[in-house]
Amino acid sequence: MNNSRSQRVLWMLEELELPYEIVKYERTAAGLAPDSLLKIHPLGKSPVVDDDGVIVAESGAILEYLVDKTGGKLAPAPGTPAHRDYRYWLHYAEGSLMPLLLLRLIFGKVKTAPMPFFVKPIARKIAGTVEGNFVDPNLKRHVAFVGASLQGKTWFCGDQLTAADVQMCFPMEAIAARVPDAPAVIGKWVAAMKARPAYQRALAQQTQLFENRGVGAVEAAKQAFATINQTVQQQAELWAYIDVFVALGFVALSAVPLALLMRATKSAGKVGAV
């Protein structure tokens, strides 16, 4: 699917020099996976591979499947410290880092989303509190941790590229593009990834397949949020009506005591005349 984690699988297949055929799925206008993907796997997400009828979903599981299929290529020897690192980063990418990056995007959107004026301060306060208390400090810690873990290494498990690096490509690209003060090793890692011929072949495939529309983590995140944006735009008109309705309500409510006051003043005047 365009602008998706399937880039990981393509890169992996190119590194392993395995033959493959890409089946193209286009995101819907709302940025979601098309229903046709549901015919392949009940969750209908990308990436998903079909290896002679064996369906494998979840990018990490797909990469491990491909490692097994090639007798352990792109994985350190089992039982070694490098293999423990390998397993860690393979899980960490989707288990810890991606949810944090997604939360950051979601709460960033909440702050700028159109909504009735009386809800805005509450929504901004909630989003700001979650960002300030949870997302930002955690992300800062994670980015520093990733940077420190890469010190003195070319790849996550040492000098050799492994499937764990392939799995980390998506969040690493997002951090390099969106976290301005990220440690320099992160940018260096991303540059090393982009310099690999297999990565370039995978990227070229995607770019050609999807008519040169942006690929990569940052564009994928934008696509994912196209869904939220679209929903938000649809809501914007409704919110505007609600704003007018509420304003009219206030006017009507304040008119009642005003009318009563005027009436009371008038009758008091009459009494005074008698």
Ligand X SMILES: N[C@@H](CCC(=O)N[C@@H](CS)C(=O)NCC(=O)O)C(=O)O
Among residues 238, 2, 23, which one has the least CA distance to residue 114?
A: 238
The residue whose two tokens read 């003043």 is: 265
Residues contributing to the site for ligand X (CB under 6 A): 4-5, 32-33, 45-47, 58-59, 94, 220
Q: How far is the CB of 86 from ligand X (least distance, A)?
A: 17
| C-beta of 110 vs 217, nearer to ligand X | 217
Cα separation, 223 vs 4, whole angstroms: 9
Are 47 and 4 spatial neighbours (Cβ–Cβ below 8 Å)? yes
Q: How far is the CB of 154 from ligand X (least distance, A)?
A: 24
| C-beta of 78 vs 95, nearer to ligand X | 95
Q: How far is the CB of 114 from ligand X (least distance, A)?
A: 23
* 116 prior amide bond cis, ω within 30: no
Q: How far is the CB of 259 from ligand X (least distance, A)?
A: 55
Quote the radius of gyration of the chain (alpha carbons, Å): 27
| C-beta of 14 vs 94, nearer to ligand X | 94
| C-beta of 110 vs 220, nearer to ligand X | 220
| C-beta of 62 vs 190, nearer to ligand X | 62
Cα separation, 249 vs 231, whole angstroms: 27
Q: How far is the CB of 258 from ligand X (least distance, A)?
A: 53
Dihedral through CA 149, CA 153, CA 156, CA 159, nearest 10?
Answer: -160
Q: How far is the CB of 45 from ligand X (least distance, A)?
A: 4
| C-beta of 57 vs 185, nearer to ligand X | 57
Among residues 3, 4, 31, which one has the least CA distance to residue 228?
A: 31
Among residues 194, 130, 206, 124, which one has the least CA distance to residue 165?
A: 194
The residue whose two tokens read 């392993």 is: 16
DSSP β-bridge partners for residue 54: 51
Element (H, E) at 20: none
Are 126 and 204 spatial neighbours (Cβ–Cβ below 8 Å)? no
DSSP β-bridge partners for residue 48: 57
Q: How far is the CB of 71 from ligand X (least distance, A)?
A: 24
What does the block give as tokens for 60? 């990490």
| C-beta of 4 vs 157, nearer to ligand X | 4
| C-beta of 59 vs 162, nearer to ligand X | 59
Q: How far is the CB of 79 from ligand X (least distance, A)?
A: 26
